[in-house]
Amino acid sequence: MKPETLFSRRLFLAGAASAATLPALPRAVLAQAAPAGPFVLPQLGYAFNALEPHIDAMTMEVHSQRHHGAFIGNLNNFAKEHSVLAANPVEKLLAGWQQLPESIRMGAKNSLGGHANHTMFWIIMTPGGAKEPSGELRTAIERDLGGFDKMKTDFNAAGARVFGSGWVFITVDQSGKLAITTRPNQDTPLMDGQRVLLGNDVWEHAYYLKYQNRRAEYLVNWWAVVNWTKIGERYAAAKAGTLTI
C-alpha cells in the first residue's frame, strides 16, 4: 500500500485535531515542523522501524514526529504571548492547569498533557533493555498489582475499556506504591499531582495502521517493546522524589 494511501486511513482521523496545526510536509523535515520556542520535540534515539514487528515504522514516524510535534507547535505558539509556559516545568503547569490564562487554558492543558504523555512513552518503549522488572520494582508489582502476569492482564483490560481515545497508566508515589488508572484524551495523572511510572497510548493513531480495530491485540503485543531497565530507573527516581514526567 502506498504511503499516501496510508495517510488517508482512519488512523490519522483520530489525531487530526492535534495535527491540524501543522502543514503537510515531506517526511525528511517532519522533525523540524514545530515553531521555535521553549518546548522541544524529543528525539527517539532509535530508528522508526526498531520496534517492528510489534509497531510499524510508519506509525512510529507519524506518531512521534507529527502527532507529538503538533503539541510542541501549539505550546510554542501559546508561549509567545504567555511567558508562564516557558517559566515553569511541564509537571507543575499540568498540576496547576486550572490557573493557566483562560484564553489558552484548555488548549495548553491538552498540549501539555500530550507532550508529557508522549515524552514518557518514547522513554519506556525502546528496543533493548530488560524484558521483565527486577529488584524493588518487581517486589512492588507483586505487592500492589498481584504479580507481573496479573499486572499485564489488568493493565490490558483497563486499556481495552477506555472509550474512544485515551491512555492507561501505572502510577507511582514516593513510597513506591503502584496503581493502574486510565485517563481520557491527553489527560494525565500529573494533573492530579501524581507521577507516572509507565503508560500506553490507546488513541487509534498509536496502532491503527497495523492493528486496525484490534486494540486488545495491540495492548498484548506492546509489552514486547517495553524497556524495563528504563522503567526501573523511573521507579528509583520516583522514590527519590526526582521523577518529573
Q: Which amino acid is at 6?
A: L
Q: Which residue has the cell 485535531?
A: 17
Return the minimum-mean-pLDDT range out of 34-38, 63-67, 218-222.
34-38
How many residues in the chain?
A: 245
Residue 36 confidence class, pLDDT cut points 50, 70, 90: confident
Residue 182 confidence class, pLDDT cut points 50, 70, 90: very high
The angle, 0 to 180 degrees and rounded to 10, between the axes of the packed helices 228-240 and 105-124 is 120
What whole-number distance in Å separates Cα of residue 233 and Cα of residue 126? 14
Buried b (16+ CB within 10 A) or exposed e, 189-213: bbbeebbbbbbbbbbbbbbbbbbee
pLDDT, residue 14, reads 38
pLDDT in tens, 192-220: 999 999 999 999 999 999 999 999 999 99
Whether residue 107 has pLDDT greater than 60: yes
Q: Which amino acid is at 94?
A: L
Query: Distance of alpha carbon 55 from its chain centroid, rounded?
Result: 14
First to last CA, the chain: 37
Share of residues in the chain with pLDDT > 90 (%): 85
Residue 161 confidence class, pLDDT cut points 50, 70, 90: very high
Instruction: Measure Cα distances from 231 to 106, 123, 168 in Å.
Output: 30, 8, 15
Share of residues in the chain with pLDDT > 70 (%): 86
pLDDT in tens, 110-148: 999 999 999 999 999 999 999 999 999 999 999 999 999
What whole-number distance in Å separates Cα of residue 39 and Cα of residue 211? 32
What sign results for the dihedral spanned by CA atoms 43, 165, 127, 170?
Answer: positive
Q: What average pLDDT does this structure show over 68-73?
A: 98
What's the fold here for domain 3-124? Helix Hairpins (1.10.287)
**In which residue ranges of the chain is CATH 3.55.40.20 found?**
135-240
Cβ(121)–Cβ(199) under 8 Å?
yes
> Greater confidence, 20 or 188?
188
What whole-number distance in Å separates Cα of residue 57 and Cα of residue 207? 11
What whole-number distance in Å separates Cα of residue 205 and Cα of residue 226? 18
**In which residue ranges of the chain is CATH 1.10.287.990 found?**
3-124
pLDDT, residue 20, reads 37
Quote the mean pLDDT of the chain.
89
On whether the 135-240 domain is CATH 3.55.40.20, my answer is yes
Instruction: Measure Cα distances from 142 to 9, 33, 120, 139, 215 in Å.
Output: 41, 43, 23, 5, 26
